[in-house]
């Protein structure tokens, strides 16, 4: 990725303290970009090219003022509440944190101008061409409408927006409540992980490969208005992923499948990698086995530090 023309660019990363955002900031800094990172809480940085902004992205005036001061070349919008649970209590928080923030970012960047706006979509969005489809969660609905707004802004106002759709992303630093970290930490601590049936299939993709796609999207020509999948192109069941983790960590532990209920209306979708290659020049480079092994190593190191063991 060293050949991607990122060095010296002024970039904004919203949701920079999250899983994808933190990985993206590290990569951009490594590539020599100047990074302005947003968070809902105050943060400080000792890196000369990293500046933190405490920002409420649901307030348009705040967003406009921040971007007017920064005048970024590229904006990466990853902020928002990340949970696909169908709870009624999530409707309003998800609407504002995902959709309101996206419309504010689109409006401010169109007003002020930038070379490229990269918006993070979701595999939970409705598939195109499905008549009368209904989103399976408030998260899915808000993400879907954010993509619709981005396409509208490009069509009507020529906003240089690109939507990247990461599939089932996993890797070092992911929240412990997510399935891969949950299983890894349970197994490392000698516990049986409690899971759903394990029948759900997903397109699993390692976080470094996803970040490759985001960095490429910053400067790739001819992709404005496009929605691009970032996935492996292969479906693998949750049970298969868990069994691979068990074999790598402790084959004597038997996972407790069926310990928690399956989520209703869970989307099963595989990435269109052929289109991603053609439009973005992107290919995933990390196999599922390699990615899981690297993720295990990260969480093992974390546990060792917590317990005082040598790393």
* 298 domain-assigned: yes
Strands, E assignment, the chain: 10-14, 34-39, 50-54, 74-77, 116-120, 161-166, 168-170, 194-195, 201-202, 204-206, 227-230, 236-237, 256-257
* 1 domain-assigned: no
- How far from chain centre, in Å, is Cα 84? 13
Domain interval for residue 302: 10-307
pLDDT tens-digit readout, 89-129: 888 988 998 999 999 999 999 999 899 999 998 887 766 66
pLDDT recorded at residue 4: 59
Region 262-283 average pLDDT = 88
* 5 domain-assigned: no
Over the chain, what is the mean pLDDT? Answer: 91
* 4 domain-assigned: no
CATH number at 264 reads 3.40.50.720
pLDDT recorded at residue 3: 45
The more confident residue out of 83 and 247 is 247
* 143 domain-assigned: yes
* 3 domain-assigned: no
* 277 domain-assigned: yes
Region 47-59 average pLDDT = 94
Q: How many domains does the chain have?
A: 1
* 2 domain-assigned: no
């Amino acid at each position: 990725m060293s050949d991607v023309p990122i060095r010296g660019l002024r970039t904004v990363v919203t949701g920079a303290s999250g899983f994808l955002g933190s990985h993206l900031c590290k990569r951009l800094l490594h590539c020599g970009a100047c990074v302005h990172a947003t968070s809902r809480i105050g943060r400080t940085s000792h890196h000369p090219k990293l500046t933190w902004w405490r920002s409420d992205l649901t307030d348009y005036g705040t967003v406009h003022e921040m971007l007017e001061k920064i005048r970024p070349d590229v904006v990466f919008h990853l902020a928002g509440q990340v949970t696909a649970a169908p709870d009624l209590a999530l409707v309003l928080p998800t609407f504002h944190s995902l959709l309101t923030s996206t419309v504010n970012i689109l409006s401010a960047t169109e007003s002020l101008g930038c070379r490229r706006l990269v918006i993070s979509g979701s595999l939970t969005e409705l598939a195109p061409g499905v008549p009368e489809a209904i989103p399976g969660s408030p998260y899915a609905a808000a993400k879907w409408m954010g993509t619709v707004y981005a396409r509208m802004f490009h069509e009507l106002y020529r906003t240089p927006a690109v939507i990247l759709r990461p599939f089932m992303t996993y890797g070092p630093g992911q929240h412990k409540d997510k399935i891969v970290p949950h299983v890894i930490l349970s197994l490392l601590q000698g516990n049986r992980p409690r899971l759903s049936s394990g029948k759900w299939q997903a397109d699993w993709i390692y976080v470094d490969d996803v970040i490759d796609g985001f960095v490429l999207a910053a400067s790739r020509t001819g992709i404005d208005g496009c929605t691009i999948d970032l996935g492996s192109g292969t479906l693998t069941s949750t049970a298969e992923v868990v069994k691979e983790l068990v074999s790598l960590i402790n084959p004597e532990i038997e996972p407790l499948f069926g310990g928690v209920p399956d989520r209703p209306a869970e989307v099963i979708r595989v990435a269109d990698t052929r289109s991603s290659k053609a439009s973005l020049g992107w290919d995933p480079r990390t196999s599922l086995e390699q990615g899981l092994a690297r993720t295990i190593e990260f969480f093992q190191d974390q546990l060792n530090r917590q317990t005082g063991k040598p790393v």
